[in-house]
Amino acid sequence: AAAGGPKSITDDELEDMLGDLLSALKKASQSRQGQAPRLVAFSCLSRMLSTLCDRHDPDSTPAVYRTLIYALVESDSKPTREFATRCLLSLLEKHEGVPVGILAE
């Protein structure tokens, strides 16, 4: 790459970045700082998952899906759970074939 050009990112670095992002979003989904951070976190997780499903990404999709489901299950706010459930239902309607086996875990 030319000096000052974009640096390529390895698969391991990309995986680490995704892990960091998912950790931050899961933490935000449990925020005690009010409703807004929780709703934004679930909105971001849902949008990210939808995009990965559109791309048929077999590597990142399961981690994002798992994070969304576990954050939903661990949420102690009824309005947040309702919002996250609507996001998930919308996603499941849009993308047939999303694995639901993890819901049983």
pLDDT tens sequence across 6-24: 778 888 888 889 999 999 9
pLDDT at 40 over 90: yes
Are 98 and 56 in contact by the 8 Å Cβ rule? The answer is: no
Q: CA gyration radius for the chain?
A: 15
Q: 8: helix, coil or strand?
A: coil
User: What's the one-letter identity of residue 42?
Assistant: F
Mean pLDDT for 92-102 is 71
* One-letter amino acid for residue 92 of the chain: L
pTM of the model: 0.82
Residue 98 has pLDDT above 70, yes or no: no
Q: Determine the Cα–Cα distance for residues 50 and 68; give it in Å rounded to an integer.
A: 12
Cα distance between residue 96 and residue 73, in whole Å: 22
Residue 4 has pLDDT above 70, yes or no: no
CA distance 96 to 19: 25
Q: With a cut of 50, say whether residue 104 has pLDDT above it.
A: no
